[in-house]
Amino acid sequence: MKQLDVVTFGEAMAMFMANHPGSLHEVSEFTRELAGAETNVAIGLARLGFGSGWASKVGNDAFGKFIINRLKNENVNIDHVLLDNKYPTGFQLKSMALTGDPEVQYFRKGSAASHLNEDDFNEEYFLEAKHLHMTGIPLAISEDARGFAKHALTFMKKNNRKVSLDPNLRPTLWASQEEMVREINEVACKADYVLPGLAEGEILTGFKNPSDIASFYLEKGVELVVIKLGPAGAFYKSATEEGTVLGFPVENVVDTVGAGDGFAVGVISGLLEGISIHDAVVRGNAIGSLAVQSPGDNDGYPTKEQLEKYIEKHSQGVK
């Protein structure tokens, strides 16, 4: 197995993207693709040349086999992907949006991934990685998956691995907002790097100002907070530095899904390489802007060479 730089875990789904605009119930033609915040990150890092692995369960069905084959083709390590003969792989339908966010309908309840539990955790596999990337989605989909997530976090921190968290809030998956905030913050305050969107940060901390949101986590021991500001770019703050990195102008936004995951790819890759926080955030903004210019969740993610050329051509610097 290629040395893993980053490991992540979560739920992947088959995604059927509408081939033409309109309400989902009116669309007759779809293109099958892969969906999943964590698989997006694994794919993005693999395209940049990192050893990335994804751990999960998929059903022993056509969708599960599709996910496995797709990740293999993207050079993502799947040695910790388990086949489940009892529970199915989830799927989703996504509309083609001409403006704004697309309509998405999920068919995921009781999926194989939601039955991933602490007993499935493979210590040797996770120890192969230098870094763990998490999102808040496994915390929401089931008690089993939440147990796996918390165990993974505790284990990796105990073994001196860095951990990043993208809250990736999914309010409809939680019993209440109070539970969501409590559970996400419990994990976020144990992570090294926290990467919320501005609206997510306000929900989780009660603060509107990016600096105050960042301070909420820094005061609890988090090393770095990077807050996505949409087209305006991103704000970052650590114990010793802070700044705002402007976004990359995009003339034609095709699909916003996957932009936040692409942002995480850029930031994580930069931190792994030891470049400055500012330059890592530039990478995040760059990949996020590339992501919104293509229809699939990760179609726009670049190779290392493509990323360097894009940044050189479009970089905006610090405000």
| Residue 71: partners with Cβ closer than 8 Å, 6 or more residues away | 12, 34, 39, 42, 43, 54, 78, 81
Residue 252 resides in a domain: yes
Q: Kindly report the pTM of this predicted structure.
A: 0.94
Task: Please report whether residue 118 resides in a domain.
Answer: yes
pLDDT of residue 319: 43
Strands 91-94 and 104-107: antiparallel
Lowest mean pLDDT among 21-30, 93-102, 167-176: 93-102
Q: Is residue 12 included in any domain, yes or no? A: no
Quick: pLDDT tens for 87-97: 999 999 999 87
Q: What is the CATH number of the domain that holds 293?
A: 3.40.1190.20
| pLDDT (0 to 100) of residue 256 | 75
- 242-245 sheet: strands from edge to edge: 81-84, 52-59, 6-9, 131-135, 162-166, 193-194, 224-228, 234-238, 242-245
- Where does residue 177 rank: exposed (0-12), middle (13-18), buried (19+ CB within 10 A)? exposed
* Share of residues in the chain with pLDDT > 70 (%): 97
**Domain assignment present for 208:** yes
Task: Indicate whether 41 pLDDT > 90.
Answer: yes
Q: What are the distances in angstroms from CA 301 to CA 12, 79, 219, 283?
A: 18, 23, 34, 11
Structural domain boundaries enclosing 191: 37-88+110-314
Percent of the chain predicted with pLDDT > 90: 86
Identify the active-site residue in 261, 279, 297, 299. Answer: 261
Q: Which residue has the higher pLDDT, 167 or 298?
A: 167
> What's the domain count of the chain?
1
Domain membership flag for residue 65: yes
Whether residue 167 is contained in a domain is answered as yes
Whats the size of the chain, residue-wise? 319
Query: Tens of pLDDT along 238-282?
Result: 999 999 999 998 888 877 778 899 999 999 999 999 999 999 999
Whether the pLDDT of residue 317 is over 50: the answer is no
- Structural domain contains residue 238: yes
Known catalytic residue at 279: no
Is 245 inside any structural domain?
yes
